[in-house]
Every structure is written in C-alpha cells, then in structure tokens.
Structure 1
Amino acid sequence: MRKTHLPAVPALLAVCAASAALAMPGRAAADDDRPLQARAWAAACASCHGFGGQPPAGSPIPPLAGRPAARIASLMADFKAGRRDGTVMPQIAKGYSEAQIAAIAAWFAAARPQGD
C-alpha cells in the first residue's frame, strides 16, 4: 500500500482552530490578533498558491510571497468585481471584504519568497 504524505492537514487544522478562536462570539479581536487573523485568511490560498505563497516548482499558479500588497489587492479586487477572468478566483474573491483582502495582501507581501 502506498503511504500518502499529508503535511498540510495539521497546518490547516491549526489555522482553522486559530481562526475559529478569533471569531468566537463576544470576543473582540485585539490588535495583536490581526496578524494571526490575516495568516488564517491567507491559509485558504495555500491549496493553490502554496504555503507561504510559494506554489510548487513548475506550477502555472503565480507565487504571492513578496509581491507588492497593492498589486495583490488590486488583482483580488478585479476578480471580485468581475474585471478579471479566472476559474475559481472570482468566486473566492467575492467571499472576502475589502479589509480582509488588504490584510491578506499585506501578509503575502511580508512573506519572504523561497530562495531569498
């Protein structure tokens, strides 16, 4: 039987747990929770764009790590508004508010691309 390597599962579970903890009713997000929340939102991008915004080598999916936040936010806004075509990105972008898109873009902009 072939052994399947699933390193993403524990990481995604941890991100989901952190996101759920931040979204608990009656709990206001503290300022120091914001980077953790942005990381949790950005984790949803990992299945296509790779963990930390680095897709596998040779992937047609663009890397996000280290790209300017304004560029990422602009592309997401274009997907959300229907100005840019895509397979799943228009639907994904519609699920985020402008503030969430800005937080995700800032998180990826601060991420260091591999090899740097």
Structure 2
Amino acid sequence: MSKELGIAPTDGRRKGETRTAPVTGRKYVNKTGLWCLVIDRDHADVANVVNRLLDKLKPREGTLRGLHGVEDAYFDVFIAGLTDTEGEANCQFALDGAQLATLAQFGPPIRFTVTMGTE
C-alpha cells in the first residue's frame, strides 16, 4: 500500500499479527489488516482535510483495485465532534466535484463515519 500510494501509514497492522490490548494487556490476533493515514485537525473544514490528504497521496487510476491480499479497501473520512449541553449536535461538510473525482481515481468507495459525544 505504501508503495502504491507514495506515503507511509500513520498506523497499521497486519492480518494474523499478535498484539496486546493497551488497557487489559490481553493478547489477541488481528483478524484483518489495516493501513491508516490520519490527517488530524481540530475544528477543521472536512473539505480542507480531504485536500491535505490528496496533497499527500499520488493518485493513479485504480491504484487500490486488485492489490494482492486486499479484500476490502475504502476511504473512511472519520469525523468526531462534541454535543452541546443538551446532547444535540450538527455536522455539515461538503466535497466538490474535483475532490470526488480525484478520490474516485483510487478505486474504492468513500465512507463517512461521524460520531458525536460529550467528551
């Protein structure tokens, strides 16, 4: 993945690798692998974060299609926010056509994961 994308991950794990849970200290074996690139921004506009991601990657048509050993590839845009004192929150974001077209060049679907909490 790193060679195909032209960048090293900020986090990753291999399928079948034995790891230790940080809280419990219990050993477990990864059932899946993970290649993760985190673009961390507080109070960021999602479109700007996607632009930062695209600036780091080297897209080529279908880069992530048919990679050896990859069963399920997708871009996951993870958004976390805080609720107000009444437990309510809104999350808005927009991507333009150029951003979507560039992401589409890689091949996998784009998934948006939004979570809101009190802390």
Do the structures match in fold with TM over 0.5? no
Q: Which has the higher helix share?
A: 1
| TM-score bucket (shorter structure) | under 0.3
Q: Which has the larger radius of gyration?
A: 2
TM-score, normalization: structure 1?
0.26
Q: Which has the higher strand share?
A: 2
TM-score, normalization: structure 2?
0.26
